[in-house]
Chain A
Amino acid sequence: EIVLTQSPATLSLSPGERATLSCRASQSVSSYLAWYQQKPGQAPRLLIYDASNRATGIPARFSGSGSGTDFTLTISSLEPEDFAVYYCQQRSNWPRIFTFGPGTKVDIK
């Protein structure tokens, strides 16, 4: 079973700063890696799929990169609404199961 590890657990930054979030898989997941944003009391929202493709309506300040076992979500310049928890997620080939990482909280410094 593939395990996803996210770092750091918490990232304290100021609006306007650049955020770099890491997701590492215990074995290769090719490019089947997605990123989600979750705000308190809300359902998660898909940001990035296939490691680097922005979902519909996602601002260009969000970008994803990586392949294999190491992935990065970058927020180029934090807006006030970006302070939230971010999860990565992968789907293994066989068995066809999904796994989420433990999350990274981006909070206001």
Chain B
Amino acid sequence: QLQLQESGPGLVKPSETLSLTCTVSGGSISSSSYYWGWIRQPPGKGLEWIGSIYYSGSTYYNPSLKSRVTISVDTSKNQFSLKLSSVTAADTAVYYCARVHPQHDAFDIWGQGTMVTVSS
């Protein structure tokens, strides 16, 4: 059964870069046509899509975050990663990684999420 697990620092200082990794287990990140995404949720608020990446490396980003976001994939480690630069308190959120079904463009498997706080 495919599982996703986010990892990374829970506390990031303002103006620094937030870095998270999603490790995929129970299947290969590059063995199928699925693609992968990051979604975040500020405390008490709704869901915001950050961006998605195909196993080939093609990326799509939320226009509101595009200038600060980089998503990459490491097939040798069965991981994909998120970097968000120049963070502020507004980037404090639970960050989820998820698998995207290519035919239905829906997030069908999610990680448990990791809380990231931006504070000095």
A residues at B contact (CB < 8 Å): 1, 32, 34, 36, 38, 43-46, 49-50, 53, 55, 87, 89, 91, 95-103
The 4 A-B pairs of least Cβ separation, nearest first, read A91-B105, A34-B106, A43-B110, A49-B106
Q: Name the residue of chain A whose CB is nearest to the CB of B101.
A: A49
Q: A49-B104, A49-B106 are in contact. Are A98 and B49 (CB under 8 A)?
A: yes
A-B pair count, CB < 8 Å, reads 62
Q: Measured between C-beta atoms, what is the minimum distance from A58 to chain B in Å? A: 11
DSSP class of B's interface residues: helix, strand, loop or mixed?
Answer: strand
- In the complex, which of the residues A45, A100, A102 contacts B49, with contact meaning CB atoms closer than 8 Å? A100
B residues at A contact (CB < 8 Å): 37, 39, 46-49, 52, 60-63, 96, 101, 104-108, 110-113
Q: A97-B49, A98-B52 are in contact. Are A46 and B60 (CB under 8 A)?
A: no
Q: Measured between C-beta atoms, what is the minimum distance from A14 to chain B in Å? A: 25
* Cβ A89 vs Cβ B60 within 8 A: no
Question: In the complex, A38 Cα to B46 Cα: how many Å?
Answer: 10
Question: In the complex, A102 Cα to B63 Cα: how many Å?
Answer: 18
Q: Measured between C-beta atoms, what is the minimum distance from A36 to chain B in Å? A: 8
Question: In the complex, A46 Cα to B39 Cα: how many Å?
Answer: 14
Contacts of B63 in A (CB 8 A): 1, 95, 97
* Cβ A44 vs Cβ B107 within 8 A: yes
* Cβ B46 vs Cβ A102 within 8 A: yes
Contacts of B106 in A (CB 8 A): 34, 46, 49-50, 55, 89
Contacts of A32 in B (CB 8 A): 104-105
Question: In the complex, A55 Cα to B107 Cα: how many Å?
Answer: 11
Contacts of A36 in B (CB 8 A): 47, 107
- In the complex, which of the residues A46, A49, A96, A100 contacts B48, with contact meaning CB atoms closer than 8 Å? A100
Q: Measured between C-beta atoms, what is the minimum distance from B81 to chain A in Å? A: 19
Contacts of A53 in B (CB 8 A): 104
Contacts of B52 in A (CB 8 A): 96, 98
Contacts of A45 in B (CB 8 A): 110
